[in-house]
């Protein structure tokens, strides 16, 4: 009956199943976010030590990114996604039955990194690039990327609620069951029915060299720009909730628990709105200037939140940042996929995320160190604003390199590098 309902040759069904997978993939970081302060007591760790775990996770996501890209190029994105689901089942199962630091670091530092890499941006970007027309790729990728946003809206408040009466292990066991009973069948259905068009074979002479592309102007400046995205995402994933939990000034709420749940939902709703808006605007607007504008907004937001600390300022931050959340990922991903040939685009895209995750590592760990040193996040937030400023300049350098007499939009991106 399920097969008759879901015609997987219909691209909308593919997007729905993919969205379910990326939605549950968001729980890998979501549980860690919500239980961050509790984990300090559960595992008897300092904030810097627990931040190091998040940094290790981010670094391994980076390491696994080019590997995942290679697997996508060689075996296809669908098998890659399925492998991520299987690893997620293993990691949530391990955490739910064992509470040692070794299992925690193995599961969240290593297994979670592969699982989330294999279930999110890289394989789904390759999948979208393979089966959708150019004019629909931005919208399809934006919708699939919104699994994280829906996770903020639906799952994160649920984890916040669970954290008030369920232990860390029980919450992980619930996610283990959801992956086993719901998400694994979704992955199997995608692998069984979705047909990806065969790649056009390229001659050995025409096959681009990965190393040469990694040292090109395009890649270096896109990486520098995308690094600002990594630094900002690390703050959202690890340090935003601990910052909110320290809030003592209330205008709208009576507790930080309610504020956190509302802020995460607000972030998710704004992320959906922002990603759809970006998917529309990139058909007409200059991609590089749009990218620079998104980083400018973030730069100002980090300064704003370093000055104002109350429930209203956190909600304002969550909404406006949410509008920019997926824009930098969507534009950077589409640029990367358009610049490089079919045989190496997965690997190049993976290396882009590798450097993105190196910035994540720096951001997560430095945030914990700065907090332990100063007992607040002010210097860390100002550091993030400076990194965002660097991303603005990198995006503008790309604009001037590719500038033409007419606006550069998605359909007009040149294939040079």
Residue 188: the pLDDT is 92
Question: What does the CA dihedral 39, 42, 43, 47 come to, rounded to 10 degrees?
Answer: 40
Domain boundaries, the chain: 8-195+202-412
In whole angstroms, give the CA distance from residue 363 to residue 372.
Answer: 14
DSSP state of 85: H
Percentage with pLDDT > 70 across the chain: 88
pLDDT in tens, 302-329: 999 999 989 999 999 999 999 998 899 8
Give the dihedral sign, CA 330/331/336/337. positive
pLDDT in tens, 92-137: 999 999 888 899 999 998 999 999 999 988 898 888 877 776 666 7
Q: Would you say residue 401 has pLDDT above 50?
A: yes
Residue 379: the pLDDT is 95
Q: If DSSP codes are grouped into helix, strand and coil, which group holds residue 312?
A: helix
Pick the more confident residue, 163 or 341.
Answer: 163
pLDDT in tens, 195-245: 666 555 554 444 557 777 788 888 999 999 999 999 999 999 889 988 998
- Banded model confidence at residue 410, pLDDT cuts 50, 70, 90: low
Segment 361-370 mean pLDDT: 89
Pick the more confident residue, 54 or 230.
Answer: 230
Residue 406: the pLDDT is 47
Query: What token pair was written down for 135?
Result: 């004019």
Burial of 303 (0-12, 13-18, 19+ CB in 10 A): middle
In whole angstroms, give the CA distance from residue 204 to residue 20.
Answer: 39
Q: Identify whether the C-beta of residue 147 lies closer than 8 Å to the C-beta of residue 81.
A: no
pTM, full prediction: 0.75
Query: What token pair was written down for 129?
Result: 């690039």
- Banded model confidence at residue 248, pLDDT cuts 50, 70, 90: confident
pLDDT in tens, 370-396: 998 989 999 999 999 999 999 999 999
Residue 348: the pLDDT is 83
In whole angstroms, give the CA distance from residue 274 to residue 149.
Answer: 10
Residue 390: the pLDDT is 96
pLDDT in tens, 11-41: 778 888 888 999 999 899 889 888 888 898 9
| HSE, side-chain direction, 13 A CA sphere, residue 321 | 29
Superfamily (CATH) of domain 8-195+202-412: MFS general substrate transporter like domains (1.20.1250.20)
In whole angstroms, give the CA distance from residue 114 to residue 328.
Answer: 22
Pick the more confident residue, 63 or 86.
Answer: 86
In whole angstroms, give the CA distance from residue 199 to residue 389.
Answer: 39
- Of the ranges 5-9, 49-53, 156-160, which one carries the lowest mean pLDDT score? 5-9
Candidates 319, 388, 355, 408; CA nearest to 220 is 355
Cα separations in angstroms, 125 against 15, 36, 154: 12, 30, 24
Residue 323: the pLDDT is 94
Q: Would you say residue 415 has pLDDT above 50?
A: no
How many residues comprise the chain?
417
Q: Identify whether the C-beta of residue 170 lies closer than 8 Å to the C-beta of residue 95.
A: no
Using the CB atoms, write b or e for 326-343: b if 16+ within 10 Å: bbbbbbbbbbbbbbbbbb
């Amino acid at each position: 009956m399920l097969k008759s309902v879901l015609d997987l040759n219909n691209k909308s069904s593919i997007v729905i199943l993919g969205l379910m997978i990326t939605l549950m993939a968001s729980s890998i970081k979501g549980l860690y976010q919500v239980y961050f302060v509790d984990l300090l007591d559960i595992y008897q760790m300092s904030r810097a030590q627990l931040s190091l775990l998040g940094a290790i996770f981010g670094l391994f996501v980076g390491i696994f990114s080019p590997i995942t890209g290679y697997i996508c190029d060689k075996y296809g994105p669908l098998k890659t996604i399925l492998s991520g689901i299987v690893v997620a089942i293993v990691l949530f199962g391990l955490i739910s039955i064992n509470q040692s630091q070794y299992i925690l670091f193995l599961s969240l530092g290593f297994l979670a990194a592969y699982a989330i890499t294999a279930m999110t941006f890289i394989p789904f970007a390759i999948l979208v690039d393979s089966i959708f027309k150019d004019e629909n790729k931005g919208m399809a990728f934006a919708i699939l990327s919104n699994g994280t946003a829906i996770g903020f809206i639906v799952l994160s408040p649920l984890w916040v609620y669970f954290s008030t009466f369920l232990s860390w292990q029980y919450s992980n066991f619930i996610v283990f069951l959801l992956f086993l009973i719901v998400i694994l069948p979704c992955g199997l259905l995608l692998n069984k029915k979705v047909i990806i068009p065969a790649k056009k074979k390229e001659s050995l002479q025409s096959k681009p060299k990965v190393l040469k592309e990694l040292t090109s102007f395009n890649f270096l400046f896109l990486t520098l720009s995308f690094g600002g995205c990594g630094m900002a995402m690390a703050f959202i994933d690890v340090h935003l909730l601990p910052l909110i939990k320290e809030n003592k000034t209330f205008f709208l709420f009576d507790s930080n628990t309610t504020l956190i749940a509302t802020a995460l939902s607000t972030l998710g709703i704004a992320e959906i709105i922002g990603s759809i808006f970006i998917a529309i605007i990139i058909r007409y607007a200059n991609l590089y200037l749009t990218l620079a504008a998104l980083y400018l907004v973030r730069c100002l937001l980090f300064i704003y939140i370093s000055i104002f600390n109350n429930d209203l300022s956190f909600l304002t931050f969550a909404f406006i940042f949410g509008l920019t959340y997926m824009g930098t990922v969507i534009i950077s991903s589409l640029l990367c996929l358009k610049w490089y040939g079919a045989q190496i685009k997965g690997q190049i895209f993976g290396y882009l995320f590798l450097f993105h995750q190196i910035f994540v590592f720096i951001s997560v760990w430095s945030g914990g160190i700065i907090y332990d040193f100063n007992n607040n996040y002010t210097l860390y937030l100002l550091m993030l604003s400076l990194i965002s400023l660097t991303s603005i300049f990198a995006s503008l350098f790309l604009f001037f390199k590719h500038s033409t007499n007419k606006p550069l939009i998605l359909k007009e991106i040149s294939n040079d590098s």
